Amino acid sequence: MSIERQEIEKLATLSRIAINESTITEVSQRLSSVLGLVDQLQAVNTEGVDAMSHPMQATQRLREDEVTELNQREALQATAPETEDGLFLVPKVIE
Amino acid sequence: MSWDTVIGLEIHVQLATKTKIFSGASTAYGAEPNTQACAIDLAMPGTLPVLNKQAVNYAIMFGLAIDAEIGQVSAFERKNYFYPDLPKGYQTTQLEKPIVGRGNVEIQLADGSTKNVRIHHAHLEEDAGKSLHEGNFSSKFSGIDLNRAGTPLIEIVSEPDMNNAEEAIAFAKKIHSIVTSLGICDGEMSQGSMRFDVNVSVKPSGTDILGTRTETKNLNSFKFMEEAIKREVERQIDVIEDGGAIVQETRLYNGETKVARSMRSKEEANDYRYFPCPDLLPVIVSDEQVAELRRNLPELPDARQARFTQQYNLSDYDAGILSSDAAMAKYFEAAASTCSDAKLAANWTIGELSARLNSEDLSITNSPVSAQQLAGLITRIADNSISGKMAKEVFEGIWAGEGSADEIIEARGLKQVSDSGALEQMVADVLAANQTMVDDYINTDEAKRKKKLGGFMGQIMKASKGQANPQQVNQILAKKLNELL
């Protein structure tokens, strides 16, 4: 199965990833080869086999509902490009 | 042509846990921006989520309350979309194996009838942060506060079983009542603790094929929800009757301007590329855990309503109002048990108190008049120390923080005069001072005399500065006038 140029562009938009015009062909070929692998897997008969959400035979451990993380805003915002009044600033997201 | 309306709801309920669903950061409301957002909530590289046990328990409790199947194995998926208040680039949610399966909720309607609304499922997920578009920063920017990011939610998805705004509101209120009674949500709508997405479509009356639906998102009050539904139904009918077609889209309703606008149409969004979250293992719920939660399930609104009608001899209607809100029910029971007149306690809680709280936009847990203080007031009404009119004055005094009912009655000299000797004297004095009125009364036809009593009553109440017990005065007056005939 091959992946069309249009689909690459749509995925790039949804993921907010810029893909250079000159690399689209290469990206398309790489993704197509991954999908080829998936095609092979899909050919296997899985009738009667439950879908697996995780490869390990383990179950989720749960946490007690106790506050363990205290305010570390200063440290966490040290690497942020822009902050003001404790807010992270990002390019305006509303028209 | 007449139309049928079809409505389904998706309800986001913030769970009242102390910490986030996947981290140990606090969920307390109203903190300084980003002081409750830890490395996990910020999606720092290398962090891993660990699921909050209480969030799982709360979700199971909701499932038990609506008689739903509890998923013995449930799993988390990633719902991918890009928005700056979602640092991971995906919301961790449940799709294929939600924790709560099909259930049922019975709603009561104004005409006394009931209706069953089916719940399709309810799943656990995390809330996003908040974007602020105005503030102490350049207009090129939006400000992001991630304190809310990772707050546990259950999303409750109904079947499209409602046919008008009234039913949708009744359903939304019932869910509010259930989750607050369970204590799994604080129910504070103004703080966004419950948010409603409404799916609406219309179809020609009597036909089976559903019309195209629209989704109006993020309604956070029952009033806005009602307005949004009514307007959307009108809009859809207008579009169709004008020969147009409804476009499947997401809309936003602005409660202040009362205008809804299209947010995005289906084709440009909703490509969420769900896949199982590799950071979280399947969640196994044991039979013992479910049995334990079922044993400790708090009283639910329907059971409480039935108990109130029996235990306190209240009408279905009064019991329904009092039991629908867990905090109000608790307040009423505290008042009723200290004042021994449950009917009066119910009337005052539903009437004067609720009206006053509403007008000041306060919740009953923040009432300036405590249940004990209200009980003190009711005791004085019940033993005829004060009239209904004085009671309102005393209530205002308690509200203003002037003390207990007895203190205010004493300080303001409001005590009702019920001493029959004093009242007899008062009536006799007024009759003696108003001979013309007495003559007029005697000369009036018997059938019309009753109307003349009001004049005497007015004089007596005035003489007593409003403190005479009106029922007693009435009796004494009738007796004395009869003697003069």
Averaged pLDDT, B131-141: 89
Shortest Cα–Cα distance, A50 to chain B (Å): 12
Task: Supply the pLDDT for residue B199.
Answer: 97
pLDDT grade for B431, boundaries at 50, 70 and 90: confident
Contact B52 A85 (CB under 8 A): no
Query: Using the beta-carbon criterion (under 8 Å), do A66 and B284 form an inter-chain contact?
Result: no
- With bands split at pLDDT 50, 70 and 90, how would you rate the model's confidence at B135? confident
If pLDDT is split at 50, 70 and 90, which confidence band does B9 have? very high
Is a pLDDT exceeding 90 seen at residue B422?
A: no
Of B389 and B304, the structure prediction assigns the larger pLDDT to B304
Cβ of B35 and A82 within 8 Å? Answer: no
Contact A86 B276 (CB under 8 A): no
**What residues in B contact A89, CB-CB < 8 Å?**
137, 141-144
How high is the mean pLDDT of chain B?
A: 91
Where is B276: in which H helix or E strand? strand B275-276
Within a 10 A sphere around the Cβ of B292, how many other Cβ atoms?
12
Question: Out of A56, A71, A85, whose CB is closest to B281?
Answer: A56
Nearest to A88 among B34, B83, B284 (CB): B34
Tens of pLDDT along B457-473?
Answer: 888 888 877 778 888 88
Give yes or no for residue A94 having a pLDDT over 80: no
Average pLDDT over residues B348-360: 93
Report yes or no: A49 at the B interface, CB cutoff 8 Å. no
pLDDT for position A95: 56
Name the β-bridge partners of B14: B153
Residue A54 predicted with pLDDT over 90: no
> Residue B301: phi, psi to the nearest 5?
-55, -45
In a 10 Å sphere around its CB, with 0-12 CB exposed, 13-18 middle and 19+ buried, how is residue B279 labelled? middle
Q: What is the per-residue burial (b if ≥16 Cβ within 10 Å, else e) of B56-95?
A: bbbbbbbbbbbebebbeebbbbbbbbeebbbbbebbbbbb
Exposure letters A30-41 (e unless 16+ CB within 10 A, then b): ebeeeeeeeeee
Domains in chain B, please, with CATH?
Answer: 3-290 (no CATH), 299-412 (no CATH), 420-484 (1.10.10.410)
- Residue B256: CB atoms within 10 A of its CB come to 6
Q: Cα(B375)–Cα(A63) distance, rounded to whole angstroms?
A: 43
pLDDT exceeds cutoff 70 at B113: yes
Q: Per-residue confidence at B265, pLDDT binned at 50, 70, 90?
A: low
pLDDT band (50, 70, 90) for residue A1: low
**B262 has a pLDDT exceeding 70:** yes
B125-134, B184-193, B366-375, B448-457: least confidently modelled range:
B448-457
pLDDT band at residue B264 using 50, 70 and 90 as cut-offs: low
Is it the case that residue B36 has pLDDT exceeding 80?
yes
CA terminus-to-terminus distance, chain A:
39
pLDDT category at A78 given cuts 50, 70, 90 is very high
* pLDDT confidence bin for B133, thresholds 50/70/90: confident
User: pLDDT averaged over chain A?
Assistant: 88
**Per-residue pLDDT for B232 more than 70?**
yes
High-pLDDT (> 90) share of chain A, %: 46
pLDDT at B236: 96
Out of B19, B135, B281, the one facing A59 most closely (by C-beta) is B281
User: From CA B301, how far away is CA B303, in angstroms rounded?
Assistant: 6
Residues 6+ apart with CB under 8 A from B431: B438, B456, B480, B481, B484
Residue B301 has pLDDT above 80, yes or no: yes
Out of A63, A73, A89, closest to residue B141 by CB = A89
User: How high is the pLDDT of residue B397?
Assistant: 93
Q: Do A86 and B33 touch (CB under 8 A)?
A: yes
Question: Tokens 């094929």 appear where?
Answer: B209
Q: Is the pLDDT of residue A25 over 60?
A: yes
pLDDT at position B270: 64
Domains of chain A, earliest start first: 1-44 (1.10.20.60)
Query: Which residues are registered as beta bridge partners of B70?
Result: B100
- Provide the token pair at B469: 């017990």
A22 interface with B at CB cutoff 8 Å: no
Q: Can you give the pLDDT at residue B362?
A: 87
pLDDT of residue B217: 92
The pLDDT of residue B427 is: 86
B289 vs B1, residue with greater confidence: B289
Q: Please check the confidence at residue B267 and state whether its pLDDT lies above 80.
A: no
Chain A residues in contact with B146 by the CB 8 A cut-off are 88
pLDDT score of B480 more than 70: yes
Q: What is the pLDDT of residue B268?
A: 53
pLDDT of residue B455: 85
Mean pLDDT of B136-150: 94
Contact B137 A85 (CB under 8 A): yes
